[in-house]
Every structure is written in C-alpha cells, then in structure tokens.
Amino acid sequence: MTREERTRWFLHDRFGMFIHWGLYAIPARGEWVKSNERITTEAYQPYFEEFNPIRYNPREWAKAAKEAGMKYAVLTTKHHDGFCLFDSKLTAYKATNTPAGRDLVREYVDAFRAEGLAVGFYYSIIDWHHPDYPAVGNHPMRENEEYLAKPVNFDNYLDYMHGQVRELLTDYGKIDIMWFDYSFDDMTGEKWRATELINMMRGIQPHIVIDNRLGGNIKKREPEVYAGDFYSPEQIIPPGGIVNEAGEQIPWEACITLNGHWGYHATDKEYKSPKQVVRALVECVSKNGNLLLNVGPDAKGEIPRESLDILAEVGKWMRRNGDSVYGCGLADRPKPEWGRYTQNGSKLYAHILDRGIGPVYFQGLKGKVRKARLLADGAELKVEVPWMAGHYGDTATGAFISLPITLPDDADTV
Ligand code: JFZ
C-alpha cells in the first residue's frame, strides 16, 4: 500500500482523541512527573502497587469522543515510565499485575471499535524502567551513581521494544494508527533498528498509519521507510501547513492538550474554550491537517469533567458544521482576511471567524458562487453587490455574501 492509500481515511476523518493515562495519574502532576521530580523507581513503585481505576469504563470515553465528532483515538499503551497498560508477556510491569488486574488496552480497543471509531496506539520508544535502556538525553531514569555506572545491553532493550510492538499488532485485532514517541539527538532511525521494526509492522498490519517520531525526514522526496506517514507537530499548528522538499502537501496531525498537561494534573485548570478547540480544528483542516485533541483520565479511570464539558460543546458545533471538516482540506484559494476556507471538491466552506460589518467579501469569486447557505441551519444567503462596491477598485473580481445579523449561536460557517 502507498502512503496515500494508507492515509486516505485518516485525512478524511481529521479529528481524533489522544488519551494519556497511566500510573502518573496517581501523583496527578503530569506524565513526566517521575523525571521532573527525579522520583526513583523504588519511590514510584507504590503507584504500581496502588493502581486500581475502579471507574474505568472506556465505553464512556468512546461515547464522549464520538459525541464530540471525533473519528479515531490514540491511547498510551506504554509511556516513558515503562508501565504497560496491556498484558505484555515480556514484562511484569503491566496493568494486569496491579490491583486493576485487567488488560486496559483490550477494553479500550473493544469499546472504541464498538462506537465505530478507528483505534490507535501510542507507544514510547523511550523507557525509564527497562534495565537495558541507557541514561541518555534528558531521560535521567538512572536515579543514582551506582545505577548510572551499570552497563546496559541496548540491543536487549530493542528486542523488548520490537517484541512489544509485535504483541500490540498481533493480539488486539486491526489497529489503525501506531503513534511512536520519540526520537532525539542521535537516538533516531536505525538506533532503534527502525527499518527492521517498520518491516515487521507492515508484515502484520500493512494498512497501519504510522507517525514520524521514529526518525528520518518525512519531508524528503524519498523519505526513509521509517520516516512515517504523517508529521506530528505538538502544541502548535504549523503556520503554513506541511509540505515536502518538492512543495507537495504531506499528511500531518497537530496534537494539542486541553489544559497544559498530557497526563492527568489535578490543579491545572487552564483549559482551552470550546471555541478555541473548534478554531484549532478548522485551522488544521484549512491547512490540510488533522487535530488530535488530548484528554488525561484520572487515577479512577475518568476523563476530567472540564474536558467532557468542552468535548460536548465541540460536538454541538460538529453536528451542525461537520461537513466543513470531514473529507475537507486545503482550499484552492488564499486565506481570506475574515477567517479560513476549507474545501471538499466543488464545495467551498467559509469559516467566518472575524466577521466585521456588512456583507462578507469573497475575493475572486465574482460569478462563481452558484448558491450560498448557512451550514448550521441551511438558510439561504444572498449573494449581492452593495451599491457602493463599484467605487472600490479591488472588488472587480469579488463577490459579497450577506449574513443574517444574528447567526445561530454556533454557526459561523458558510
Ligand atoms: C512527547 C512526550 O514526552 C510527552 O509526554 C507527550 O506524550 C507528547 C505527546 O510527546 O513530548 C515531546 C516530544 C518531543 C519533544 C518534546 C516533547 N521534542 O522533540 O522536543
């Protein structure tokens, strides 16, 4: 399969749920807490012995994602702390050995598939727990000098890492996305035996869409086999979208948190508004990208109320305006001053983000608008040229569309 064939559904669906969940939900200070606070493996162990998400019901998570208009999800199967949410045969450091006593990944896959969403796995190639992962970069998982001096056999770790990826792609049915995280400095590409890894993966699930964090350069005309299927900007929407060396659009997905943390953080209440989320999604699609919006469930297994409320509001907008997102992408015209265009074939969607006064001006569309409708309620919109327009030289090629004075509360898409 070509990258274009693999990513066709991904570029159509545009909007996914990222889920960062693990032992770090107990300290509730984000997923990097072990590293940031130099917590030793010994001091982190009580979280393992205590982990028991009694209210974990991934069907509720899947319904919240579906109601928000999301079409796929990506769950952390193992984050940097090395704790596995799945029943790996290669380690005892897994959810089935905690009081939870269950394969949390299997329940996630079953629940999201049951709600009709595509299913993805996040997998950290960095591992602060495995004895043969070295202390490199800013990953001080070796807590003391004696531990730092201990020699490691990195190939043993790579056998473990490859083996777990094989487990994930063999034991849980059809998986749609593999979201690796992350290469850094010289720890990239073949340092992970990435070609061998990708070839193994494609042998098991040839259709699977893979991110670009194994390394390589996805922007090359001929990228490495492990450079991935999509570019993965984080906490930012790339100003001009993402193109390769030849100027060709390449698939990308911006991953963004709802507050300031990926993993559950009990006191971070700085959440983005539903309107900010909708605008971020529209901006991504207008630049031919996807949005992977994160939730960080708590130690009991529940998505924070604030996140659920935002997702519900976004879902209201998506139910009335989703046609301007799904199957849409970069428009064949420059960004207008009042907002963003998205386009699907001959249908042009105008997202009026900064309305101004009077009719909205559409540069270059004179005589080209067959009909205009407010997407939220289907109301007809008048295409008309205001009598003063003749006096403005730059309107010779434009069209003016008049909008109702009061738009339906969530309708700003024409
Ligand atoms: C990584 C993780 O460390 C983080 O916890 C979260 O899972 C996020 C989605 O991915 O964050 C990164 C990855 C790479 C860089 C910075 C943060 N980088 O290359 O600077």
CA 182 – ligand 1 centroid, Å: 7
Axis crossing angle, helix 154-170 with helix 194-204, rounded to the nearest 10 = 20
Q: For residue range 194-248, what is the model confidence (pLDDT) as tens digits?
A: 999 999 999 999 999 999 999 999 999 999 999 999 999 999 999 999 999 999 9
Taking CB atoms and a 6 Å cutoff, what residues make up the pocket around ligand 1? 31-32, 181-182, 184, 234, 255, 262
Q: Which of 32-46, 129-143, 383-397 has the lowest mean pLDDT?
A: 383-397
Tell me the pLDDT band of 94, cut-offs 50, 70 and 90.
very high
Residue 409 is predicted with a pLDDT of 58
Average pLDDT, the chain: 94
DSSP label of 284 = H
In the prediction, which pLDDT does 393 show? 61
* Structure confidence at residue 348 as a pLDDT band (50, 70, 90): very high
Q: Does 182 sit behind a cis peptide bond, omega within 30 degrees of 0 on the bond before it? A: yes
ipTM of the complex: 0.98
| Model confidence pLDDT, tens digit, residues 211-222 | 999 999 999 999
Atom of ligand 1 nearest to the CA of 234: 9
Q: What is the pLDDT, as a whole number, of residue 150? A: 80
CA distance 43 to 247: 50
Of 18, 77, 181, best ligand 1 pocket probe by most atoms within 8 Å of the beta carbon? 181
Closest approach atom of ligand 1 to CA 31: 5
The pLDDT confidence band at residue 59, using thresholds 50, 70 and 90, is very high
Q: Give 119-170 pLDDT, tens digit per residue.
A: 999 999 999 999 999 888 777 666 666 777 788 999 999 999 999 999 999 9
Q: Is 401 helix (H, G, I), strand (E, B) or coil?
A: strand
For residues 297 and 100, what is the distance between their CA atoms, to the nearest angstrom? 15
Cα 279 to middle of ligand 1, angstroms = 23
Contact criterion met (CB below 8 Å) for 301 and 57: yes
Contact call for residues 83 and 129 (beta carbons, < 8 A): yes
Encoding tokens for residue 114? Answer: 């049951």
pTM over the 0.90 mark: yes
Q: Of all atoms in ligand 1, which is nearest to the CA of residue 32?
A: 5
pLDDT at 411 over 60: no
pLDDT tens digit sequence for 304-315? 999 999 999 999
